[in-house]
């Protein structure tokens, strides 16, 4: 039986980045090569708990923040919860506050989209990246030219009721989730019966650990911001840089036991990253690859970055 995850395993620091937004983050291995780990939804920095110490031991200064509105970070006074806002915050944290001219970055889900923007928005800032189990943000005509058929629209898939509801009726949904237990159960579904993860990869204690930050109604509501912007229901701080191939050397990993990311992910990633290693398929992993197969993830990332 695995040990119950310890929320106090790492010291949490806080820094104001811009526009009165303070981000909470874990930073281990100070003085090593900077490595930014970006969580997605329904995640916080806790999804990296199995990666922080091993990667710090491998020689990296590991920086694992909560995005604005998530976990221990502030809600956004300006109301922006979109890819560009997250990217601008993270650049301010790593470059302006912590003083790093460049860094490596890893992310899946929303974190993968944010790192894509970060790499294109600030040329030279992202030195290498690791991209896994997310939507690949390119113009459809680039996929068509590569002979890759169009995916079914995400919001019309049979299992995508969560996507539609969070993006189109978040206030009504939050009203239904009117207790901490109901809010946590909504998030727990992503780790369980919605089949984002490979079977058996999250124990009851693990799910409890991951869902605890979402008991707060304001934080849960804020975490749906990216879904609202996908439907055009929330304004953007800036247009994201997502639609051209990314020239940064990339390690692309894919957990195949994932029922939320399209099966075209590996093929699309080859188009998105001209300097791509992989995509490498990681067995017995799904959407939360960094947790589900942490040892494989840590070793592959350390070798790639060194």
- Which is it for strands 12-18 and 33-38: parallel, antiparallel or unpaired? unpaired
pLDDT digits (tens, 9 = 90+) for 232-243: 999 999 999 999
Q: At residue 3, does pLDDT exceed 90?
A: no
What is the model's pLDDT at position 116?
98
What is the model's pLDDT at position 151?
78
Average pLDDT over residues 148-158: 68
Count CB neighbours of 57 within 10 A: 14
pLDDT digits (tens, 9 = 90+) for 156-177: 555 678 999 999 999 999 999 9
Higher pLDDT, 36 or 4: 36
What is the model's pLDDT at position 213?
98
Average pLDDT over residues 10-20: 96
Q: Are 246 and 273 in contact (CB under 8 A)?
A: yes
Q: At residue 209, does pLDDT exceed 70?
A: yes
Separation of alpha carbons 239 and 157, rounded Å = 26
What is the model's pLDDT at position 138?
86
Mean pLDDT of the chain: 95
Angle CA 36–228–172, to nearest 5: 125
Higher pLDDT, 158 or 43: 43
Q: What percent of the chain has pLDDT over 90?
A: 91
Measuring CA to CA, how many Å separate 161 from each of 6, 154, 165, 194, 210? Answer: 32, 10, 6, 11, 21
What is the model's pLDDT at position 50?
98
What is the model's pLDDT at position 153?
64
Q: Does domain 12-305 have CATH number 3.40.50.1820?
A: yes
pLDDT digits (tens, 9 = 90+) for 49-97: 999 999 999 999 999 999 999 999 999 999 999 999 999 999 999 999 9
Tell me, yes or no, if the pTM score tops 0.95. Answer: yes
Separation of alpha carbons 89 and 118, rounded Å = 10
Among the listed ranges 87-96, 118-127, 135-144, which one has the minimum average pLDDT value? Answer: 135-144
Among the listed ranges 32-41, 137-146, 209-218, which one has the minimum average pLDDT value? Answer: 137-146
- 74 Cβ neighbours under 8 A, 6+ residues apart: 20, 21, 22, 23, 68
Separation of alpha carbons 284 and 294, rounded Å = 11
Average pLDDT over residues 12-34: 97
Angle CA 176–182–184, to nearest 5: 130
* pLDDT band at residue 2 using 50, 70 and 90 as cut-offs: low
Residue ranges of domains in the chain: 12-305
What is the model's pLDDT at position 156?
53
Q: At residue 1, does pLDDT exceed 70?
A: no
What is the model's pLDDT at position 157?
59
Separation of alpha carbons 268 and 266, rounded Å = 6
Average pLDDT over residues 210-236: 97
Helix 110-121 vs helix 83-91: crossing angle, to nearest 10: 60
């Amino acid at each position: 039986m695995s040990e119950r995850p310890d929320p106090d395993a790492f010291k949490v620091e806080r820094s104001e980045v811009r526009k009165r937004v303070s981000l909470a983050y874990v930073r281990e291995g100070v003085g090593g090569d900077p490595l930014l780990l970006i969580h997605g939804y329904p995640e916080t920095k806790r999804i990296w708990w199995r990666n922080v110490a091993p990667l710090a031991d491998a020689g990296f200064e590991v920086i694992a923040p909560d995005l604005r509105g998530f976990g221990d970070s502030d809600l956004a006074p300006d109301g922006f919860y979109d890819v560009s806002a997250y990217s601008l915050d993270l650049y301010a944290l790593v470059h302006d506050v912590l003083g790093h001219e460049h860094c490596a970055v890893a992310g899946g889900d929303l974190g993968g989209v944010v790192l894509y923007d970060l790499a294109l928005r600030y040329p030279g800032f992202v030195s290498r990246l690791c991209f896994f189990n997310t939507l690949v943000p390119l113009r459809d005509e680039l996929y068509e030219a590569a002979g890759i058929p169009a995916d079914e629209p995400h919001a019309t898939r049979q299992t995508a009721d969560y996507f539609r509801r969070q993006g189109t009726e978040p206030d009504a949904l939050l009203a239904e989730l009117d207790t901490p237990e109901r809010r946590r159960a909504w998030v727990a579904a992503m780790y369980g019966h919605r089949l984002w993860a490979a079977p058996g990869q999250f124990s009851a204690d693990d799910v409890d650990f991951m869902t605890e930050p979402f008991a707060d109604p304001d934080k849960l509501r804020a975490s749906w911001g990216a879904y609202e912007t996908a439907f055009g229901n929330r304004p953007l701080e800036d247009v994201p840089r997502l639609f051209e191939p990314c020239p940064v050397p990339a390690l692309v990993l894919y957990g195949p036991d994932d029922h939320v990311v399209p099966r075209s992910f590996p093929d699309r990633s080859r188009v998105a990253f001209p300097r791509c290693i992989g995509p490498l398929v990681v067995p017995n992993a799904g959407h939360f690859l960094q947790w589900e197969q942490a040892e494989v993830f840590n070793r592959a990332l350390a070798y790639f970055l060194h």
